Amino acid sequence: MSKSLIVVGGGITGLVSAYLAAKQGRKVTVIEAADKVGGLLNTFKVGGSDLEYFYHHFFTHDAELAWLLKELDLSDEVEYKKTSMGVFRAEKTYNFNSPLDLLKFRPITWFGKVRFVLTTLFLTKIAKWQNYENVASYDWFRKWAGKSSTEALWGPMHKVKFGPFYKEIPLAWMIGRLRQRMNSRKQGDERLGYLKGSLSVLCQRLRECLEDLNVEIITSAPVEKIVVKKDFVQSIETSIGSHTADDYLFTIPTVHLKELGGLPSSLATDLEKIEYFGVYCHILSLKKPLSDVYWLNVADPNFSFGGVIEHTNLINCEEYGGEHFVYLSRYFANSEDIATMDKSDVKALMIKNFKRIYKNLQDEDINQTYLFRSNTVAIVTDREFSNKVPSCQTGLTNLFLSNMAHIYPDERSVNNSIRIASEAIRSMGMNTDYVPKNLSLSGKIGFLNQ
């Protein structure tokens, strides 16, 4: 196990992969393009503390994450709290947490509410995702959940999250998404977790453990080229020099990997088929809370964001010097107008729509705003997407892949990123049987011995 390994990408998947390999004696180097590791888990300073660029929370059933936190002696730093959900529809906010809330939800007819309950139970308890890869989620909801619930809830949520692809998303993905949320409920209440001090604590502790394991971490070194001879990677060229190893594991988005050259033509062609969504997270610092709702789904058409996540309804505002923080989230495809808008225009548009929901909010109630963007935050998982998921073993003897595509049909999360890191290391011939598995649907495709 003295073989060397280079892990390209310092997000959570790359860092955990490096940790698992180094624990088994591999000589590991992590190469990251940015000036710090963490990827989508990175944070910035606000109110005397750290806050993520992109909102995060944990589920009670996140077994892989619980294992990692225990490994890093961080288990006692996680707080779980009962949270609430709402829906904004027809210019009105509704609570959406219980059967009684559903009964009070006027945009759906009585018969539609019955169909809503039955179809939700079917998807979360009975349906096998493998049987619904070629079934469009939007069409399925129209047929089985009914017109009123689709037009009032499922349809707008599909459109704002998936943009021009909203009719192509398979029901298999929705099954993974709904089960992830429902499995975190107990007696109807959902409890979500967060790490005290933000995910920067996790990244920093993981980095410290890697350094203790003699893992070299190189930042500000984007990979520019993969040098291949026959079916073997000889080296990778970065902006600051060449690096060699026995094996290479790439955890970066496929859109970046395919630009590096050296890949087998069949793999390069397959990677070309994978598209990504971008996301804007507009973070508002407020002088006062908005509501008691943690997660508000926006189901009205023509909104510039699809969710309002009131972070300080999960974490006490005292952690941020009394400031209240809210995320406005908007996914986008590269073909949408918002993808090319100036940041100041995006912020202005979101604020305008935000005031449609919270009509009593005044400009003086807003302390500060921040806008963060990622162009590769989620995969466009269209129908039969399992056929597009690349194999961890690439066809090059010593080149391996593990990235967001491997999370399908589940939704991305810190836990699922740990899952696919473990599956990748196992596919490379190392033992990861000690890493527990929850009921997640991620890591099912593209790895060995599935």
What does the block give as tokens for 99? 């059967």
Supply the pLDDT for residue 450: 47
Supply the pLDDT for residue 264: 87
What does the block give as tokens for 336? 């949408």
Supply the pLDDT for residue 374: 95
Looking at residue 449, what DSSP letter applies?
A: T
Cβ atoms < 10 Å from Cβ of 356? 12
Q: Phi-psi category of 29—alpha, beta or left, where left has phi over 0 and alpha has psi -120 to 50?
A: beta
Q: Report the SS3 class of residue 399.
A: strand
Whether 183 contacts 123, CB under 8 Å: no
- For the chain, report the end-to-end CA distance as a whole number of angstroms: 24
CA distance 26 to 425: 11
What does the block give as tokens for 12? 């959570």
Q: Which residues of the chain have pLDDT under 50?
A: 450
Phi, psi of 316 (to 5 degrees): -60, 135
Alpha helices in 154-249 (DSSP H): 155-162, 171-182, 199-212
CA distance 146 to 67: 41
Supply the pLDDT for residue 122: 95
Looking at residue 312, what DSSP letter applies?
A: G
Whether 290 contacts 274, CB under 8 Å: no
230 CB burial (10 A radius; 0-12, 13-18, 19+): exposed
Whole-model pTM: value is: 0.94
Cα 435 from chain centroid (whole Å)? 21
333 CB burial (10 A radius; 0-12, 13-18, 19+): middle
